Amino acid sequence: MPMTQTCTSTQNEIIRYIYNETSSSENVLIETSLVYDNELLDFYLDCLELKEEMNQIQLSPKESSIQNIMNFSKNFRPAI
């Protein structure tokens, strides 16, 4: 999917569906659409793959950032 493409309401519904944010009645409509619309199905499968890849991302701060926070915390004196 090109980066310049804007999401349609149907694509937004697919994303909501993937994250379990749709109602039961919406699920039926979306699932029916996926059966009959190959382009939408491709979008759905791409989104599932992307979601899985994003779930595997592990972020952690640099050690120097942690050390800066710890040093600030040690030296902090609240003004009373």
* pLDDT digits 0-9 by tens, 45-54: 999 999 999 9
Give phi and psi for 16, each to the nearest 5.
-60, -40
Q: Determine which helix (DSSP H) or strand (DSSP E) holds 61, and give its type and residue range.
A: none
pLDDT at 70: 93
The whole-angstrom separation of Cα 29 and Cα 9 is 13
pTM listed for this prediction: 0.65
| CA–CA distances in Å: residue 42 to residues 11, 36, 76 | 11, 12, 54
